[in-house]
Amino acid sequence: MTTPEDMRAHVMETLTFLNSQLPPGSHVVLYGLADGRFLWDHLHDRYHPLGQLNKDVTYGQLYAFLSCLQVSPCQGWMSSNETLRTLTSERAIELSNVLEKIAASEKFANLSLLYLDYPLKEMSAEWEKRGGETWQLIEPVDGFHPNEVASQLTAKIFWEKVLRQWPHVLGKENPFNNQIEHLFGDQGGH
């Protein structure tokens, strides 16, 4: 697993590069890591697309198979070993803390840093409010990435937080908005 020290070093290297390339007044948002225990919690006993027809391959079985082959994309969370899942989540918290501390303490000439926790709880709550279930937010084929719906919810939550917490990041409103709407009509934000 990535150590907090390695995380800090790699992020600082990236931010130093970005600072050398981005124009003054740029903003970089650092996002914390998700608590991936939800993968096992919400998928392990569900059928993977490979097993849906014959009801014979669950995500838990697929995760075990990938681990056996030593090709699991996420041994820590895609595992029946609860202790390993917990240790992996503890490391994710440590790495998120590194990002949060960098955002709070590091200063760059051309960019400011902002930090947000990964909005898993908010996404899940919003999706459930719409009648969905949390497992539906996970890409079904790989069984661990957020799907398009989750990405849309993340973007919505991100946008709302930026508007609320850091409206200066978005800059000034376009003074030609009324003329644009007059010419093209209300296109629903598109």
Average pLDDT over residues 102-124: 96
Rounded to 5 degrees, φ, ψ at 31 are -105, 135
Dig out the tokens for 186 from the structure: 């209300």
Q: pLDDT per residue over 125-149, tens digit each?
A: 999 999 999 999 999 999 889 999 9
Q: Vertex 163, ends 161 and 165: CA angle to 5°?
A: 60
Rounded to 5 degrees, φ, ψ at 155 are -60, -40
Nearest to residue 43, comparing CAs of 70, 74, 1, 87? 74
Residue 63 confidence (pLDDT) above 90:
yes
The whole-chain average pLDDT of the chain stands at: 94
| pLDDT band, residue 40 (cuts 50/70/90) | very high
| pLDDT band, residue 161 (cuts 50/70/90) | very high
Determine the longest span between alpha carbons in the chain, in angstroms: 61
| pLDDT band, residue 27 (cuts 50/70/90) | very high
> What confidence score (pLDDT) does residue 189 get?
65
Q: pLDDT per residue over 164-185, tens digit each?
A: 999 988 888 889 988 988 999 8
> What confidence score (pLDDT) does residue 117 get?
95
| Cα separation, 27 vs 19, whole angstroms | 10
> What confidence score (pLDDT) does residue 150 get?
96
> What confidence score (pLDDT) does residue 155 get?
94
Amino acid at 180: I
Four-residue CA torsion sign, 2, 95, 116, 177? negative
Count of other CB atoms within 10 angstroms of residue 7: 20
Average pLDDT over residues 151-160: 94
